[in-house]
Amino acid sequence: MTTSFNRKEVARAFAHPVAAAGLAATLERSVQSAHQARAQIEWETLRSAAHDVKAYAIANLDRLLTQFESQFTQRGGGVLWAQTADDAVAHCLDICRRHHATSVVKGKSMVSEELGLNEHLSRAGIDVVETDLGEFIVQLADQRPSHIVGPALHLSRQDIGKLFVAKLGIEYTDDPQTLMSAARTRLRARYMQAQVGMTGVNFAVAETGTIVVIENEGNGGLSSAVPPVHVFLMGIEKVIPRLADVPLFVRILARAATGQKISTYTHHFLGAEEGKTVYCVIVNANRTKLLADPKTRQSLYCIRCGACLNVCPIYRRAGGFAYGGTYAGPIGAVITPQLTGINQAGELPFVSTLCGACQDECPVKIDLPHQLVYLRHRAVEHGAARASMTSRGIAAWARAMRDLPSYQRSVRWLRRAAALGRRIGWYPGVLAAWTKSRTLPQPPKESFKEWWERTR
């Protein structure tokens, strides 16, 4: 899995301003819907409350996870623990083998994207199909999701129409309703054939062992209810203390993600009914690295709503693939370096303007900008990223200000450089991009000190 900042993808996005503008407009509509939906409730009070519940849950993670395990097991479910991504994949493969599964249907699961689970299952001869429409589209296109909530947002309806002609053999159409119907027909048969269904988890309730899955399409319900075996995949951070906390998160999640008051389906799964086998795979896969660092611990509060992506000026222009990993946008820039290693993804925290819009939008009030700054420091310390132009500029300025002669020399040099730049109209090297779209200021002919000495 690629996890570093993808410069080629950024260049591609900037080379197609119309497509980029389309993505930005789509995301802006999401933001407007979210703001309208938020205005109807006491948003600030609820997000503070959600922040506090998540803070408690993360601070008591060991206890809540074992409580959840105990409750889930009492309801006939099996809990499998995975320290690494490989362990989680091994559990899934083992379940499939044990139940003689040759066909798997999958609801949305970001953890499974993180694990590269589809590839592993396919290599083991298991036919796996994504059932969320957006995920189904990107699977057909042999791509990764570009957005946590809208995996195929980077594709136009025309792109999808052509894809369905090539992969599903239907006549070309760019009508979303017809395209959805084609996918529905194809997937209905797959639900009926599948021996195993897999879904992600929005919240795991420690108190009751209930697993809450929130979705709009009904594919999560079908993936869970139709096959005889259901596997939940969840990161360790998904646990919340009580059933009474669920309404709070249900109210804020849909509003932040899509601007709905509530999603169409809020499932409260209660273990295994008669004739059903249910597993929950609890995955660490480096989440404890985020947990161990008090400065990044908050990122585990994330409820994967995608709101921070929708408002991020970088994401809006560059799209999700620019981030290289499973998680895009500001939250991706924070968690990916920790999950995959700062040396591999150290540049990601720099993919932000630090404007703070992500923090303002976050329904659980994660302080993303400060975490990005902190991770920038770490990336530079580890040699995973070069110090930014700003940092290097400030370092040079500090050297210039060390004593009076240095300062005077520097100012003289800068004035000459500025005058030269003004004459030729541009600066070379790293300053070229800046001068391409801005008029250089005219430097004064003499310094204040020179003027003072001349005129006093």
Partner 1 sequence: MNDARSGVLAAVREALMDLNGRTRTPPPPTIFGETDESKATLAQHFATELQAVAGRAFIVRDRAECGAALASYLLARNVRSVAVQSSPFAQDIALQLDGFGVTSAVNLDRPELERCDCALLEARSLLADTGSATVILDNSQDRVLPYLPRTCAIVAELDSLHATFTPQALECIADTASAGARGEALIVTGPSRTADIEKVLVLGAHGPGALAVFIVEQP
d(CA 325, CA 348): 10
Q: Which of 147, 269, 151, 265 lies closest to 216, judged by CA?
A: 265
19 binds partner 1 (CB under 8 A): no
Name the one range near partner 1 by CB under 8 A: 3-11, 73-81, 347-355, 372-380: 73-81
At 179, list the tokens.
């395209």
16 binds partner 1 (CB under 8 A): no
For 49, 79, 319, 329, the CA distances from 13, given in Å and listed in that order, are 38, 43, 7, 15
Q: How far is the CB of 96 from partner 1 (least distance, A)?
A: 17
End-to-end Cα spacing for the chain:
68
d(CA 162, CA 157): 9
Q: How far is the CB of 217 from partner 1 (least distance, A)?
A: 4
- Residue 218 has what DSSP assignment? S
d(CA 178, CA 160): 11
Kindly identify the residues of this chain, within the stretch 134-193, that bind partner 1 according to CB under 8 A: 134, 137, 150-153, 156-157, 160, 176-177, 179-181, 184, 187-188, 192
- Residue 443 has what DSSP assignment? P
The residue (of 4 and 118) whose beta carbon lies closer to partner 1 is: 118
29 binds partner 1 (CB under 8 A): yes
Q: Which of 365, 300, 312, 386 lies closest to 339, judged by CA?
A: 300
The residue (of 137 and 201) whose beta carbon lies closer to partner 1 is: 137
- Residue 244 has what DSSP assignment? G
The residue (of 339 and 351) whose beta carbon lies closer to partner 1 is: 339
Q: How far is the CB of 108 from partner 1 (least distance, A)?
A: 10
122 binds partner 1 (CB under 8 A): no
Q: How far is the CB of 452 from partner 1 (least distance, A)?
A: 56
* Of 13, 65, 121, 201, the one binding partner 1 by CB under 8 A: 65
Work out the angle between the directed axes of helices 133-140 and 176-193 (0-180°, nearest 10).
90
The residue (of 11 and 292) whose beta carbon lies closer to partner 1 is: 292
Total residues at the site for partner 1 (CB under 8 A)? Answer: 91
**Where does residue 181 fall: left (phi above 0), alpha (psi -120 to 50 degrees), or beta otherwise?**
alpha
Name the one range near partner 1 by CB under 8 A: 204-212, 334-342, 370-378, 389-397: 204-212
292 binds partner 1 (CB under 8 A): yes
Q: What is the CA radius of gyration of the chain?
A: 26
d(CA 300, CA 310): 19
CB 233 within 8 A of CB 283: yes
Kindly identify the residues of this chain, within the stretch 254-283, that bind partner 1 according to CB under 8 A: 258, 260-276, 282
Work out the angle between the directed axes of helices 17-39 and 246-257 (0-180°, nearest 10).
140
The residue (of 128 and 179) whose beta carbon lies closer to partner 1 is: 179
Q: How far is the CB of 387 from partner 1 (least distance, A)?
A: 29
Per the document, the length of the chain is 456
Mask for 222-261, x = binds partner 1 (CB under 8 A): x-xxx---------x----xxxxxxxx-xx------x-xx
Work out the angle between the directed axes of helices 246-257 and 43-59 (0-180°, nearest 10).
120
341 binds partner 1 (CB under 8 A): no
* Of 219, 326, 359, 371, the one binding partner 1 by CB under 8 A: 219
70 binds partner 1 (CB under 8 A): no
Q: How far is the CB of 436 from partner 1 (least distance, A)?
A: 33
Q: How far is the CB of 139 from partner 1 (least distance, A)?
A: 12
The residue (of 125 and 142) whose beta carbon lies closer to partner 1 is: 142
Q: How far is the CB of 353 from partner 1 (least distance, A)?
A: 24
Name the one range near partner 1 by CB under 8 A: 78-86, 113-121, 354-362, 409-417: 78-86
Q: Where are the beta strands (DSSP E) in 56-140?
A: 78-82, 103-106, 127-130
The residue (of 177 and 439) whose beta carbon lies closer to partner 1 is: 177
Sign of the CA dihedral 145, 383, 287, 257?
negative
The residue (of 181 and 406) whose beta carbon lies closer to partner 1 is: 181
